[in-house]
Amino acid sequence: MQGRSVAWFRKTQHTKAWQQTPPTSTQQSDHITLSSVHLRRGQHDVLKGLNLHWHEKKVGLIGNNGSGKSSLIRLLNGLLLPDQGQVEVFGYNTQQQPEVLPSLVGFIFQNPDHQLIFPTVAEELAFGCQQLGDSPHTAREKALNLLSQYSMQDWANRPVSELSEGQKQKVCILAILIMEPKLLVLDEPFSALDLPTRLQLMALLEQSDCHLLLISHDFSVYEQFDRLIWLDAGQIRADGQPADVIEAYRNAVTQERA
């Protein structure tokens, strides 16, 4: 992977939904805020009056399976709406302004096969631009430009079904970055990948200038993060510097097993 930024792309950027629509709250446009959020799925209370507020660039989220991590991040792009409380992403209320969310919040899922829609790499990247209103020709040009910026020109017509898991996840990340989101949310994107591929993808993410919210069970990826949040049974158990939160989490797990 080339050590280049995607800033070149911003030179050609267009006005997007979230740039055209004024935020609900004008005071905290660089902040993400969850206020007294309660979420129920089926018979279970997944999030219980959650209050959370951050503005840091790189934030991690940890917790046991079923602690509510995936539900929490789905609240940020409107895939889920809270039963009670408010979610504001950069000043936009997810219930009142859901139309801005797809261009504001990029989402990378755990399994790349669930999010690659088109059979070839260039078509997959171009799809994001077409979603934002570009013509098919312009969208393809942008996709090819992005691939060439990362020395991946020869990937353009490669069938996604023939890529390795790491390569597919790389395409997923580029397919979201081409939409220029302000916040990138990643739901365990590295769980099936080997160490070199993880490092390569982390380097790719670090080149982007958007805010990151990452869920991962591999704590080493949080080393360079600004903040780590530990979610436990739908509530915040610890929140702070990654090293401190990881230590607290490990101690708690050790004590529970003892």
Partner 1 sequence: MISLYLEQQSWLHRLPTSAKLIALALSSVALLTVASPWIMLAALLGAILIYLSLAPQGWRHLSAARPLIPFLLAILVIHYFTDTLVEGCVSLGRLLTLFLIANLVTLTTRMNDMINTLQPCFKPLQLFGIQPRSLALAIALMIRFAPVLAKVLESLDEAWRARGGGKQKWRLLVPLIIQGITLSEHVADALAARGGSAGLNKRI
- For residue 96, state whether it binds partner 1 (rule: CB under 8 A): no
Q: Residue 156 Cβ, how far from partner 1 at the closest point, in Å?
A: 9
Choose the stretch contacting partner 1; rule: CB under 8 A; options: 1-9, 27-35, 47-55, 107-115: 107-115
Q: Which of 103, 169, 208, 216 binds partner 1 (CB under 8 A)?
A: 103
The whole-angstrom separation of Cα 6 and Cα 146 is 8
Phi-psi region of 188 (alpha: psi -120 to 50; beta: other; left: phi over 0): left
**Residue (of 241, 199, 243, 238) closest to 221 by Cα position:** 199
- For residue 99, state whether it binds partner 1 (rule: CB under 8 A): yes
The whole-angstrom separation of Cα 35 and Cα 242 is 23
Contact 102, 153 (CB under 8 A): no
- For residue 164, state whether it binds partner 1 (rule: CB under 8 A): no
**How many Cα atoms occupy the beta-carbon half-sphere of 187 within 13 Å?**
21
- For residue 127, state whether it binds partner 1 (rule: CB under 8 A): yes
Helix 165-177 to helix 121-131 angle (10° resolution) is: 30
The sign of the dihedral angle between the CA atoms of 24, 27, 31, 32 is negative
Q: Which of 82, 128, 166, 189 binds partner 1 (CB under 8 A)?
A: 128
Residue with smaller CB distance to partner 1, 99 or 226: 99
- For residue 145, state whether it binds partner 1 (rule: CB under 8 A): no
Q: Which of 79, 192, 210, 233 binds partner 1 (CB under 8 A)?
A: 79
The whole-angstrom separation of Cα 128 and Cα 120 is 13
The whole-angstrom separation of Cα 243 and Cα 220 is 10
- For residue 88, state whether it binds partner 1 (rule: CB under 8 A): no
- For residue 15, state whether it binds partner 1 (rule: CB under 8 A): yes
Q: Residue 220 Cβ, how far from partner 1 at the closest point, in Å?
A: 27
Q: Residue 112 Cβ, how far from partner 1 at the closest point, in Å?
A: 10
- For residue 171, state whether it binds partner 1 (rule: CB under 8 A): no
The whole-angstrom separation of Cα 55 and Cα 243 is 19
Q: Which residues bind partner 1 (CB under 8 A)?
A: 14-17, 20, 74, 77, 79, 99, 102-103, 105-107, 109, 111, 113-120, 123, 126-128, 130-134, 136, 140, 157-161, 175-176, 179
